[in-house]
Structure 1
């Protein structure tokens, strides 16, 4: 067992966690799993997040301060942003293609979809600022639907009297408030919030990774502009501390299989009390889940590895996964790009051969602004919800989804389920009810795991391509089994 590669051990942890969740739910041990096993998964994520901030800070300072030509930094930054935006637009485009091709929302019972459409039109009538459906139809006025209209109005009235809807959608209201706050910001708010008022506050418990990156870039550029004789002590400290952080990552990853087991067992135990409930969670939203999974898996198993093998001859399709799989499995179990960042950097540098100058700059930015999986999920989910409510989105509206999902992904936090907040912005952008986000809650946590794998794989792909273009890629001939 000790001689097995790390990614194989993590696979064992994943499978064992899922198996334990089913066994414990069958035997009625869910509370035991939540109380005594799940906390170890929480500890694992906390440790990784605690390391992520100093790792980003020290890695960027170390990489930028080593640049002999500061002008290269601007070129590298522009290339990084262009690559990330292109990959995000590509992910959204693939998502829209799939959801329009397979139309998962139409797999639901026709009568139920009509009821959904009627409730949507009632919502539009109550919100005059929302544009009317562009298909020109009004189910509220069509005679053959009057019984369903009366039923829908009665349901709405009952919900209003009992205030059930408000209580049931409390989480939606919280997400909508966050989305409104984000959507109403000025055009330069993103850049204003990049600059920390208090640098130590940016490193605190509610760390803002963009502010950490800004400070690290500024500090690193300043060190590069000063003569080595004056800053050699600072450079030695930064480089030494960076090596210590990387060693901490090595130590933590030795226990990763156990922590991954605890994470998966806890996640599933919190979702359902019996094996039947676990399976039922996926049954109702099966068509949507399958289409999204197909898109995400296409990105991971087809697009990214083929792009790398085409441009980097030393890394074949199979080698790509062997070199980067530890980060992918960890991303799946943590659902957090930020928590996975230390391992992503280690795999990209030691296994893929990307220089620290590139990885320390490109990957932290990617973990913050590049969310290919999240962007694809937003595109597919929004169109699926529209199909579920018999709302036909025009080409213009779908292009709006591309733009909004791309911009929203830049502001999406690198933490579990942050994409739900951004989806509300996308729903609002095409005149759909933001409360619909509650429909996909049941399967969001599991699908979030797959989205995160796409996010970190996209980051690794972009950083490898940029390193190749900058002459900063030195692919090792082989990767030790322990890696």
Structure 2
């Protein structure tokens, strides 16, 4: 069985087991003693331990993988002086997709009106205190690291990207010493990718544990009460991922969107399971390079940057939530208000990058700009965890689309690899081969 199939099977089994445990706990069919033991020893015990260890292992790979890959990529790019062009193309595409996402969300919210008839929720006790958002001045200053070791210890992606680009540029301009250092980093990059491949052996177990624990604890009351809001956000996320991204990929590169979606399935499952674009970077980067054929010198830049500033899924949540709150509170923000939402959410996707709880900070900023009560955020928190998983999968899909478009424009895309429909076949080792022809079946 290929690794991709094993991961998908683990995801489905995790959801089924989690829902079953949730039902048994709520119905008390097995008695309080048995359900209590299940919660303590399985849900909060074995599943929690396995899931946390898996997430920790993924995060372990993020900083060394991003740093080394980006230094290698910057060395290659600097030889042709393409760093600036690549940065502009990538950033503009990410801003374009975010603006398209928030616009689509506002249209869907206006069309289906998820907040109509929800006035009763306003009288509830839901509260939310917005965390402080950084100023534009602080955002610009904090992009540049004062201590690269501190930036790596904190996992500050923007600062790591800046440091890696500077180092890669310096290495490419240092003659023979630079060539020796570049050779070392290229070898180190191969070793780190092999480490990612080893980690993938345990991926199905980690995915199962994460989803089993989540769905065992996820109550359905909030989803039922906010069903219309939930469905509108979910439909918009799927429409953006399958429609807008496909259109952009075909328009700007001529590549087949269906092939990209098929080959990104493993990374999507990881993103859904972890609800973290940053934790999924090792898998996304490996998938984009090995399955889509994007050259490392492009992927090493576009994927980490996308995980940091590409907030399409969050932008969709903000757009639908804004319309939802406006309808629920009976406040007409008008056309100018909606235009302000598009502008604020697009710029905030870069401005709040790397800040913990970034999605809620961005939503608070948007609501403040159009004069909607922040207390409404507390109402949607009950269903936000599940939606967060879906929008993370959407975000990494956007990262792969932008990576493919930029690579195609730079002549750094292997179309033979991209169009290879037998990549998942048994002859090629099955599943997601993240390090050469790595065989998941034999480790």
Q: Normalization by structure 1: what TM-score?
A: 0.81
Rounded to whole Å, the distance in 2 between the matches of 1:335 and 1:177 is 20
Offset at 1:317? 4.2
Contact 1:292 1:377 in 2 (8 A): yes
| Partner deviation per Cα, 1:300-353 (whole Å, 9 max, x = no partner) | 22222344355555x534322221111011100000111111111111111111
Match of 1:202 among 142, 145, 151: 151
Correspondence for 2:427: none
1:216-264 CA distance string (max 9 Å, x none): 011111111221x122331122111111111111111121111011111
Check whether the contact 2:171–2:179 (CA below 8 A) recurs between aligned residues: no
1:95-134 matches, cutoff 5 A: 95-108=105-118, 112=120, 116=122
Q: Does 1:245 align with 2:185?
A: no
* Structure 1 spans left out of the alignment, 5+ residues: 120-154, 156-164, 272-277
> Which of structures 1 and 2 has the bigger CA Rg?
1
2:224 is aligned, of 270, 280, 283, to 283
CA distance in 2, matches of 1:291, 1:316: 27
SS at match of 1:352: coil
Q: Which one of 26, 40, 43 corresponds to residue 31 of structure 1?
A: 40
For the structure 1 residues 318 and 71, does the alpha-carbon distance in structure 2 shift closer, same or farther, using more than 3 Å as the test?
Answer: closer
CA distance in 2, matches of 1:177, 1:344: 30
Maintained 8 Å contact 2:172/2:178: no
Q: Does 1:78 align with 2:88?
A: yes
2:253, 2:322 → 1: CA distance? 36
Within 2, Cα distance between the matches of 1:428 and 1:188?
19
- Note the 1:351-362 alignment, pairs <5 A: 351-362=291-302
Residues 400, 203 of structure 1: alpha-carbon distance in 2 compared, 3 angstrom cutoff: same
Distance 1:417 1:67 in 2: 33
**Structure 2 residue aligned with 1:298:** 239
1:279: Cα distance to partner?
2.3
Cα distance in 1 for residues equivalent to 2:7 and 2:353: 25
Q: Aligned partners of 1:203, 1:301: CA distance in 2, in Å?
A: 34
Question: 1:22 pairs with 9, 19, 22, which one?
Answer: 19
* Structure 1 position 281, deviation (Å): 2.4
Q: CA deviation at 1:266?
A: 1.6
2:155 maps to 1:226: no
- Within the alignment, does 1:91 sit opposite 2:101 as a pair? yes
TM-aligned CA deviation for residue 70 of structure 1:
5.1
> What's 1:235 paired with?
182
Match of 2:303 in 1: 363
Q: Secondary structure at the match of 2:77?
A: coil
- Determine which of 419, 435, 442 is the counterpart of 2:382: 442
Alignment of 1:344 onto 2:284: yes
Q: Which residue of 1 aligns with 2:348?
A: 408
- Contact in 2 for aligned 1:338/1:414 (Cα 8 Å): no
Q: Structure 2 residue aligned with 1:482, among 426, 431, 434?
A: 431
Partner of residue 384 from structure 1, selected from 313, 318, 324: 324
Task: Give the direction of change, closer, same or farther, for the CA distance of 1:36–1:415 in structure 2 (3 Å limit).
Answer: farther
TM-aligned CA deviation for residue 34 of structure 1: 1.4
Describe the shift of the 1:351–1:234 C-alpha distance in structure 2 as closer, same or farther (beyond 3 A).
same
- The 8 Å contact of residues 56 and 360 in structure 1, kept in 2 or not, is answered as yes
1:459 to 394, 399, 411: 399
With normalisation by structure 2, the TM-score equals 0.88
Unaligned runs of 5+ in 2: 25-29, 425-429, 433-443
> RMSD in angstroms over aligned alpha carbons?
2.0
Q: Kindly provide the CA deviation profile for residues 87-124 of structure 1, in whole angstroms up to 9, marking residues without a partner as x.
A: 1111111111100111110043x6x27xx3xx7xxxxx
2:259 and 2:313 mapped to 1: Cα distance?
A: 22
Question: Across the two proteins, how many residue pairs are aligned to each other?
Answer: 410
* 1:55 and 2:2 aligned: no
Instruction: Measure the CA separation in 2 of the matches of 1:64 and 1:198.
Output: 20
